[in-house]
Amino acid sequence: MSELEELNKEIRSCRQCRLAKDRRYAVPGEGPDQATIMFIGEAPGYHEDQQGRPFVGAAGQFLETLLSDIGLKRRDVFICNVIKCRPPENRAPLPDELALCRPFLDRQIALIQPQVIITLGRYSMEIVFKGVSITKIHGVARKIDGVTYIPMFHPAAALHQPRYRSLIEEDFAKIPAILANIAELDAPPPPPAPEPPQQLSLFN
């Protein structure tokens, strides 16, 4: 069993906070062990809780559309949440729930080592950008300790308020260029140009 699978098992059996009581399944997240891109949402909703998988409801369908618009499939990326269990009635996560669940997310990031982390919504944005308004910084990539973070609106926001739809689509459209830029920075430097052949003189 990989370290990530062991961690998933630990998350599935976690009973550290009140959310364990009413959940059907904890939702660790899913995607390749070595994913380049990690999406972090807020918390599982009804469908995620029923299936034990992240982003499988309406917001998830929109996320898949946004991914396919930029040539990605959900199996190409790691998708998880700050909170691994569904809060009752989809209420906002409470500070103690966020604090207790946070080490799981930190361990996922440490194991997967994504190059790009895209935070979806306010709660996941706060893991790196505290006390700022998402309306001011959405879509702006920032590199911190070698990882590029891009805060974005939550896809569910677009389902509830259509004016967010184009903002999210515009922010997603920036992802390919950001990935290309990272690939370029990571590429080994080109080999030095060969010395021009020396014209041998007849006299030496």
- The binding site for ligand URA (CB under 6 A) comprises 41-45, 48, 54-55, 57, 59-60, 81, 156
Beta strands in the chain (DSSP E): 37-41, 78-81, 116-120, 142-144, 147-152
What's the closest the beta carbon of residue 180 comes to ligand URA, in angstroms?
Answer: 28
> Cα 46 to the chain's mean position, in Å?
21
What's the closest the beta carbon of residue 17 comes to ligand URA, in angstroms?
Answer: 17
Task: Choose between 152 and 156: whose C-beta lies nearer to ligand URA.
Answer: 156
- Please classify residue 147 by burial: count the beta carbons closer than 10 Å to its beta carbon, then call 0-12 exposed, 13-18 middle and 19+ buried: middle
Task: Choose between 73 and 145: whose C-beta lies nearer to ligand URA.
Answer: 73
What's the closest the beta carbon of residue 147 comes to ligand URA, in angstroms?
Answer: 20
C-alpha to C-alpha distance for 162 and 184, rounded to whole angstroms: 35
Token pair listed for 32: 């390749």
Task: Choose between 57 and 114: whose C-beta lies nearer to ligand URA.
Answer: 57
What's the closest the beta carbon of residue 146 comes to ligand URA, in angstroms?
Answer: 26
Strand partners, 118: 39, 150
